[in-house]
Amino acid sequence: MASQKTVLDMFAGAGGLTEGFFRKNFDIISHIEMSPYAAQTLETRTLYHALAAKGHQNIYYQYYYQKLSREDFLEECRSRDIPDASVINQKLSQDTECSIINQVRERLTERNRDTVDVIIGGPPCQAYSLIGRARDQRGMLDDPRNYLYLHYLRFIEEFKPEIFVFENVPGLLSAKGGEIYSDLLKRINDLGYITPSEPHILNACDFGVVQDRKRIIFIGWRKEHDFDYPVFERNEPRYKVRDVLGDLPELEPGTGTDGPQSYRVGCPSKYLREYYIRNGQKSVRHHIARNHVERDREIYRIAIRMWNDGKKRLRYNQLPDHLKTHANQSSFLDRYKVVDSNGLSHSIVAHISRDGHYFIHPDINQARSLTVREVARIQSFPDNYLFEGPRTAQYVQIGNAVPPLMAAGIARGIADLLKSN
């Protein structure tokens, strides 16, 4: 245990970034997350890893397959001396900073550790997102989430990690006319850390994720370290969306279940085997389709035909008049978008929790939006990853997450840097 580097995960969400660092043998000291449902998801996943480490993963799967209530599952963990999941379910603010810092210090003491070696995370990106700013009348200029990065820097100042990893959307570079990016770099330097002035934008598809998902990954280190930005091992995309979704049961709108159901195809694809998505399970959860009115399904079929037959995207003003319900026909014309079965998916975002029109399944016979499990797979979450809360909350957790495969690649680069120290 002493050889493991310690990690503090801030703005942890459902734990995608944490999952990658756990796979690379980091010791996760604590997670800070304000959403109650995401915090429960973090707790569940952390307990899974702890149970598996002691050979008790059967307890987790009893819960996963709904043979144990949550209360009974937690009691089973306590009876086997499984440590607390160390999830701090609080909103970061000026009023809570000191309390949360003290809680992290308590967890270090409980684990017989002295320092936080790595801080990871990224503030909620909606205020920086180009799409979010386009939809807001003030371009998110007044959104308080613009300044959540200050809390992240406060924890760097307090714990003085060797390295930090700060993840966000490329829109951060231009938020408030570039003011936030410039301020972030200056404050990082003032704290005694080096980070390259040129931003590094990484794409999840280079790490095995079947998704075109670009994110800024800031990595900074204390000035006494002779480090360079990691050279990540990148792979040319070899797999397609169909390799990810093909074994799941076909669903009509309103069918399926959040509970366990058998796979449609017994033998998983090479992708699902290579990246341990299926994990030897016989059934899967969170595969339930939304209900759709027939008007939406008619639009979906038009969009699917256009994409599958000619790689053309449906524009809203191209619809027959009887299918148009929005007066605005001059902006957001790409509100219906089909996921590319024969290529990479476009970026999964939390907005899928609202209606799903931007994430249409490519199979015209199903003519529906993607399920929670389907978007989780496109994000590279394994099938035994359980998302707590109602479906809307599950979509938000997944859309906001760092894909675990990408996170594992980043963690590998961080581990290599620390070994060279």
What mean pLDDT is predicted for residues 111-115?
Answer: 93
What mean pLDDT is predicted for residues 200-221?
Answer: 96
Q: What is the pLDDT of residue 146?
A: 54
Confidence (pTM): 0.93
User: With contact defined as beta carbons under 8 Å apart, do 146 and 183 qualify?
Assistant: no
**Locate tokens 């937690």: which residue?**
74
**pLDDT tens column, 64-103:** 999 999 999 999 999 999 988 899 999 999 999 999 999 9
**pLDDT tens column, 337-361:** 999 999 999 999 999 999 899 999 9
The residue type found at 87 is V
Q: What is the pLDDT of residue 334?
A: 87
Q: Which residues contact 175 (CB under 8 A, 6 or more apart)?
A: 127, 128, 133, 140, 146, 181
What mean pLDDT is predicted for residues 112-134?
Answer: 72
Whether 330 shows a pLDDT value over 80: the answer reads no
Q: Which of 77, 98, 125, 267 is catalytic?
A: 125
Q: Tell me 82's DSSP state.
A: P
**pLDDT tens column, 355-402:** 899 999 999 999 999 999 999 999 999 999 999 999 999 999 999 999
For residue 283, give the H/E element and its range. Answer: strand 283-284
Whether 421 shows a pLDDT value over 80: the answer reads no
205 included as an active-site residue:
no
Whether 135 shows a pLDDT value over 80: the answer reads no
Give the CATH superfamily of 6-235+400-420: Vaccinia Virus protein VP39 (3.40.50.150)
**pLDDT tens column, 225-276:** 999 999 998 888 899 999 999 999 999 999 999 999 999 987 899 999 999 9
User: With contact defined as beta carbons under 8 Å apart, do 5 and 119 qualify?
Assistant: no
Task: Report d(CA 80, CA 19) in Å as an integer.
Answer: 23
* 6-235+400-420 shares its CATH topology with 241-392: no
Q: CATH topology for 241-392?
A: DNA Methylase; Chain A, domain 2 (3.90.120)
Taking alpha carbons only, the member of 414, 415, 352 closest to residue 378 is: 352
User: With contact defined as beta carbons under 8 Å apart, do 351 and 395 qualify?
Assistant: no
**pLDDT tens column, 169-195:** 998 888 778 888 999 999 999 999 999
Q: What is the pLDDT of residue 279?
A: 86
Task: Report d(CA 119, CA 123) in Å as an integer.
Answer: 13
Query: Mean of the per-residue pLDDT values for the chain?
Result: 91
Task: Report d(CA 258, CA 331) in Å as an integer.
Answer: 35
What mean pLDDT is predicted for residues 323-328?
Answer: 83
The residue that leads in pLDDT, 137 or 378, is: 378
The Cβ-side half-sphere exposure at 237, using a 13 Å CA radius, reads 16
Whether 132 shows a pLDDT value over 70: the answer reads no
In the chain, domain spans: 6-235+400-420, 241-392
User: With contact defined as beta carbons under 8 Å apart, do 171 and 133 qualify?
Assistant: yes
Task: Report d(CA 219, CA 412) in Å as an integer.
Answer: 13
**pLDDT tens column, 151-165:** 999 999 999 999 999
**Locate tokens 């033998």: which residue?**
267
- In this prediction, residue 128 has a pLDDT band, given cuts at 50, 70 and 90, of very low
3-state secondary structure of 343: coil
Cβ atoms < 10 Å from Cβ of 323: 13
Taking alpha carbons only, the member of 36, 29, 44, 34 closest to residue 12 is: 34
Taking alpha carbons only, the member of 58, 105, 63 closest to residue 86 is: 105
User: With contact defined as beta carbons under 8 Å apart, do 375 and 364 qualify?
Assistant: no
Q: What is the pLDDT of residue 49?
A: 96
The residue type found at 117 is D
Name the β-bridge partners of 216. 168, 201
Whether 130 shows a pLDDT value over 80: the answer reads no
